[in-house]
Amino acid sequence: MGQSTSTTSDTDGGRLALSFDKFLKNFKLESTIVSQDTVRKIQSHLEEGDLQSTVSTINKVLRDIDSAPLNIAVTGESGTGKSSFINALRGVGQEEEGAAETGPVETTVVRTPYKHKKFPNVTLWDLPGMGTTKFQAHRYLQEMKFGDYDFFIIVSATRFKDTEVHLATAIRKMKKNFYFVRTKVDSDVYNQRVSKPSIFNKDELLQKLRDDCVTHLKNANMRNIPIFLVSSFELASYDFQRLETTLLKELPAHKRHIFMQYLPNVTEAAIDRKRDSLKQKVWLEALKAGASATIPLVGYLSENDVETLKETLTLYRSYFGLDDASLETVAKDLHVSVEKLKANLMSPHLLSVEKDDESLGDKLLRCLEKICSISGGLIATGLYFRKIFYLQNYFLDTVVRDAKLLLKKEEIFKDSEGSEQTYMHQEVRDENGKSEASSS
Ligand code: GDP
């Protein structure tokens, strides 16, 4: 990490174009946040050496990604589990303030918007079941302002009825996407396990539930329509993950980022997707900086850099449910103190300075030197020449590891009950699993 300055060769267009292409190939379609058209545009600007157009295209991409509104309509008859599904998608407990009201009685007669305080651009719309309104499908969609939504989710706790099939046909005519979600699957599994233990076979039961829905849709001339079996109480099970992947794939690329961050951290796959999306954003920022100007590679972090890093970490912790408010809720649920919970995590300590004679900037530099010594070749890509991007990636990886650890929180706190054992606080591991003592 010596003192040097990037030269024009550092920002060589052809090489950047090549590394951009290579970098984006690391991601699956559903987690790609830049459209193919935009990628081609950026590449051709780079190849032509038109750095100004490169920067303005990237700026536009970043603006679109950050400001894209997302409106999701969820429709279904009362009692089907629609409110519970909406709450589960928003990561809101059924009894929390602001939760969609759940219960056995009819609670929704007009469309109701639900927002998330972390994601003001995303709105989940609770639509009354079409049967409740007595409208024909076309009229129903007009009344519900169908043009406002990116896609529709049609929920049912049994096979889909004719009204829902008519609705889906009308949605399709209006050139919008729809998805059938069959809720309360855990209940079917439980009932069958208890009532017919001798013939109980979970996979067969799930297949039967799916076939049952598909046959009914086929009879109504709807073919090749995927059905997603979901339990709002066990989101990590059944088809929820497949539903997420399908929704993401079918959204325009620039809307995927916000939806990935919005989706709850219930599986490793969801956490990895969030990480991939954020890595692309860090990369776009790095590419922009690379194309913008000659960037001095000085041996310190400016106050601005430290501020940006603080903001980045706060954002990452919030996206992955590791902000202070979320950790307090987790600690409460686990009946452990927040201090004990934090002692098992690394991300809350990333910005704390332990030594009296060390500034935060110094500590981050020390951290950076360690990462570079572990991951060695990264700097050779020519893009991560700014320390800030290295550190943003490091923060992201740290937060991701904490988020994955929290997936196993019950296990961890059961094992460590009464002991002061900490799991992650002590080491930094490189991609090959080699570990280094950490002072953070
Ligand atoms: P809504 O009227 O369609 O909004 O349905 P609610 O979300 O209020 O759910 C109706 C009832 O079904 C409530 O008692 C919920 O607790 C229950 N419920 C909802 N979703 C599920 C689920 O995925 N599994 C199980 N077992 N029960 C559910």
Centre of ligand 1 to C-alpha 145, Å, is 26
pLDDT class for 365, splitting at 50, 70, 90? confident
Q: Report how far ligand 1's centroid is from the alpha carbon of 146 (Å).
A: 25
**Contact 261 CB / ligand 1 (< 6 Å):** no
Q: Cα(28) to centroid of ligand 1, in Å?
A: 33
Take residue 163 and report the two structure tokens written for it.
């009204």
CA nearest neighbour of 137 among 176, 108, 164: 164
- Quote the tokens at residue 393: 């990636």
184 Cβ closer than 6 Å to some ligand 1 atom: yes
Pocket lining: 79 vs ligand 1, CB cutoff 6 Å: yes
Q: What is the pTM of this model?
A: 0.85
Q: Is the CB of 75 under 6 A from ligand 1?
A: no
Distance CA 335, CA 160 (A): 42
Could you say which DSSP state residue 375 is in?
H
Pocket residue to mutate for ligand 1, from 82, 84, 95, 189, most atoms within 8 A of Cβ: 84
User: Which is more confidently placed, 219 or 432?
Assistant: 219
Ligand 1 centroid to Cα of residue 77, in Å, is 11
pLDDT at 1 over 70: no
Quickly list H helices, 127-201.
130-133, 137-143, 162-173, 185-195
Q: Is the CB of 81 under 6 A from ligand 1?
A: yes
- Binning pLDDT at 50, 70 and 90, where does residue 222 land? confident
161 vs 164: CA distance, rounded Å:
5
- Is the CB of 416 inside a 6 Å radius of any atom of ligand 1? no
Q: Tens digits of per-residue pLDDT, 258-301? A: 999 999 999 999 999 999 999 999 989 888 877 765 554 545 67
Q: 184 CA to middle of ligand 1, Å?
A: 7
Torsion over CA: 132, 138, 142, 147 (sign):
positive
The per-residue pLDDT for 217 is 87
From first CA to last CA, the distance across the chain in angstroms is 20
Taking only the tens place, the pLDDT of each residue in 158-193 is 988 888 999 999 999 999 999 999 999 999 999 999
Picking from 353, 385, 375, the residue whose alpha carbon sits closest to that of residue 434 is: 375
Whether the per-residue pLDDT at 436 is higher than 50: the answer is no
The amino acid at 296: P
Ligand 1 touching residue 237 (CB < 6 A): no
Listed in order, strand segments (DSSP E) in 219-329 are 227-229, 296-297
Mean pLDDT, the chain, integer: 83
- Least confident range from 60-74, 240-254, 363-377: namely 363-377
What structural domains and CATH numbers belong to the chain? 2-66+268-439 (no CATH), 69-251 (3.40.50.300)
> In terms of C-beta density within 10 A (0-12 exposed, 13-18 middle, 19 or more buried), how is residue 273 classed?
buried
Q: Which of 80, 102, 107 to mutate to test the pocket of ligand 1 (most atoms within 8 A of CB)?
A: 102
Q: What mean pLDDT is predicted for residues 358-374?
A: 74
- List, for residues 404-426, the tens digit of each pLDDT value: 999 998 888 875 544 444 444 44
Beta strands 112-116 and 119-127: pairing type?
A: antiparallel
Q: Of 422, 382, 168, give the one whose Cα is nearest residue 290.
A: 382
CB distance 234 to ligand 1 below 6 Å: no
Q: Report the pLDDT value the prediction gives residue 134, as an integer from 0 to 100.
A: 80
Give yes or no for a contact between 183 and 85, defined as CB atoms under 8 angstroms apart: yes
Q: Is 156 in the pocket of ligand 1 (CB under 6 A)?
A: no
Lowest mean pLDDT among 64-73, 240-249, 387-396: 387-396
> How sure is the predictor about 372, in pLDDT bands with cuts at 50, 70 and 90?
low
* Ligand 1 atom nearest to 234, measured from its CA: 23
The residue ranges of DSSP E strands in 161-302, in sequence order, are: 177-182, 227-229, 296-297
Task: Compute the distance from residue 85 Cα to the ligand 1 centre, in Å.
Answer: 8
Instruction: Please indicate whether residue 84, judged by its CB atom, sits closer than 6 Å to ligand 1.
Output: yes
